[in-house]
Structure 1
Amino acid sequence: MTVPRAFIFDMDGTIVDNMAFHTKSWLAFFERRGHAIDADEFFRSTAGRQGHEIMRTYLDAGLTKEDAALLDAEKEELYRELYAPHLEAVAGFEEFIATAQQEDVRLAVATAAPPANIVFTLDGLDLRRHFDAVVGAADVARGKPNPDVFLLAAERCGVAPEHCIVFEDAPLGVEAARRAGMRAVVLTTTLPAEAFAEFDNVVKLARDFSELDIGELFATTPFTQQAQ
């Protein structure tokens, strides 16, 4: 009997090369409130975290859930306005997942994005139909680097963590995969390869999906770090 296998994809910066637009929207959001932030440091510290976690870190640790949700909605509306004219999948993605499906690999999305952004991206590109599971910020209490979103995606696919490979573009996401006991493939859409040198669960770095071979990825040694 064949062991079930899965690919779990982060969305922003991985399925779509959009992180520059997220950064622009955050800069504009904070500028409205008189805050100046360093774009590079902000990305490294926050990519993969949920919106309410970021709001509490940068604005007010005592924000209520309702107030944080309103602020997050404002920021995400800015992002969608900026990115909408540029919405497209990373090169090779659709061909890659089509091949994966032919080889009986289960597919999931595991993202820190709120529901409106998941609809904007997956439905905007007509990609949702390809996935066995879609897990977002509304489905888990904690964002990355906690492993919750990846573990739930694996559970919904019916695949053990050691047989899942995560696709990510951010260090916090790769760390979340490590804590979940999963191998990771890094897309260097946002950061250079050296930004991921410390991670022992990274099995491949690539500029886009056209550089990836499914058989080669699953031939790598499973990573066995247990969830924390």
Structure 2
Amino acid sequence: MAQASRRDRTAISREDFDAVVFDLDGVITRTAEVHFLAWKRMFDDYLSEWARREGRKQEPFGSQDYQHHVDGKPRYEGVKAFLASRGIELPYGTPEDGPDKETVCGLGNRKNEIFRQLLREGGVRVFEHAVDLVRRLRDKGFGVAVVTSSKNCKDVLEAAGIEDLFDVRVDGLVAARDGLAGKPAPDTFVAAAERLGSRPERVAVFEDAESGVEAGHRGHFRLVVGVDRVGHGPELARSGADVVLTDLAEVEVRA
């Protein structure tokens, strides 16, 4: 079979698709930069404490750490993955752990406190072309969902003024309630497709995280679009993206 042209691969038509699923941070909203700052502040503080205690230097948390170990994953899984990359092992703890507790959950909760503080101080900006794409899809009758591992999804959408933009929301709270595995497992994307009354082979996924792209690929979605905001297009392609875009204005919506 001849490969579809790039134009066809960046077009969403009613003939081939029923619905579209979007990641939130880094695709719709510019909260990825806020998440990165929160992760960096939390991890850099912890690594400094750890280095003083253990007498072994640790490099600060960087953008590559964020992309490879944290971005797109449930918060506690991100903590665990990054610490493992630095050879640090902590007790997992419980989600009720306070932010001062030295456990995976405690560090995750510490990061969330920092994130919410930054959110209150700076608000939320959106990617205008992404919001425009969602509106164009809605106008043509496509179902649209937002899927994120964040448990702050509702707050972020409200802060950005787009809380009514999506038909379905599958976030970290829904995943915990329904026992859905986080990305790179495809469970949350599949759940969103089902809630939109469709199935993966009729749904497109837009993701900026390598773990999210892998989830779309593993879920056998008809189209997985990697959204490259930070120059990691090759990594998105290797993770399973069918096409990589830097600007969602390139996407055509066909009735």
Q: Same fold (TM over 0.5)?
A: yes
Aligned to 1:30: 43
Residue type of the partner of 2:238? Answer: E
Aligned to 1:197: 237
Aligned to 2:203: 164
SS of residue in 2 equivalent to 1:214:
strand
Q: CA deviation at 1:118?
A: 0.9
Aligned to 2:10: none
Quick check: 1:53 aligned with 2:77?
A: yes
Q: Return the alpha-carbon distance in structure 1 between the equivalents of residues 107 and 131 of structure 2.
A: 33
Q: CA deviation at 1:136?
A: 0.7
Task: Select between 148-157 and 61-70 the one with higher mean Cα deviation.
Answer: 61-70
Gapped regions of structure 2 (runs ≥ 5):
1-13, 49-59, 84-88, 98-103
Q: CA deviation at 1:153?
A: 0.6
Q: CA deviation at 1:85?
A: 2.1
Deviations 1:23-74 (A, max 9, x none): 2211111233235434313321221111122234426243223225554333
- Alignment RMSD: 2.4
Q: CA deviation at 1:131?
A: 1.2
Q: CA deviation at 1:16?
A: 1.3
Q: Return the alpha-carbon distance in structure 1 between the equivalents of residues 90 and 114 of structure 2.
A: 21
Q: CA deviation at 1:154?
A: 0.7
Query: Residue 32 of structure 2 is aligned with which of 12, 16, 19?
Result: 19
TM-score calculated relative to the size of structure 2: 0.74
Aligned to 1:225: none
Residue type of the partner of 1:29? Answer: M
Residue type of the partner of 1:110? Answer: V
Aligned to 2:126: 89
Gapped regions of structure 1 (runs ≥ 5):
219-228
Task: Select between 84-93 and 141-150 the one with higher mean Cα deviation.
Answer: 84-93
Q: CA deviation at 1:5?
A: 0.7
Aligned to 2:157: 122
Q: Return the alpha-carbon distance in structure 2 between the equivalents of residues 55 and 172 of structure 1.
A: 15
Alignment length (residue pairs) = 213
- Contact kept, 8 Å, 1:166 with 1:177, in 2: the verdict is yes
- Contact kept, 8 Å, 1:91 with 1:210, in 2: the verdict is no
Quick check: 1:66 aligned with 2:122?
A: no
Aligned to 1:111: 148
Q: Return the alpha-carbon distance in structure 2 between the equivalents of residues 15 and 98 of structure 1.
A: 12
Quick check: 1:175 aligned with 2:214?
A: yes
Identity within the alignment, %: 25
TM-score calculated relative to the size of structure 1: 0.82
